Amino acid sequence: MAKVNIALDAELVVEVMVLAGIGNPQDAVEAVVRDYIARGHRTEARTASREETHRTGQGLLPPEPPQG
């Protein structure tokens, strides 16, 4: 895997380390980036699901009340 070197504000990295409970700066930043990517994928999945519902019309009407 290719590596990228970047400069970050030390206070920012320390805060991420504390919040994530991770003692290594590299691991803390990687965890944040992986979480951000996972959230993006979840959002994409929800959006696709909603678009499919609107496209097919399924799930748009409330269920009929039970009769009897």
Angle of helix 10-20 relative to helix 25-56, nearest 10 degrees?
Answer: 70
Please give the Cα distance from 28 to 14 (Å, whole number): 9
What would the mean pLDDT of 5-10 be, rounded to a whole number? 95
pTM, 2 dp: 0.60
Classified as helix, coil or strand, 63 is: coil
- Separation CA 38–CA 2 (nearest Å): 20
Mean pLDDT, range 27-31, rounded to an integer: 96
**Mean pLDDT calculated for residue range 17-44:** 94
- pLDDT tens digits, one per residue of 31-56: 999 999 999 988 888 887 666 666 66
pLDDT score of 60 more than 70: no
CB of 28 closer than 8 Å to CB of 35 = no
Q: Which residues contact 57 (CB under 8 A, 6 or more apart)?
A: none
- The answer, yes or no, to whether residue 63 has pLDDT greater than 90, is no
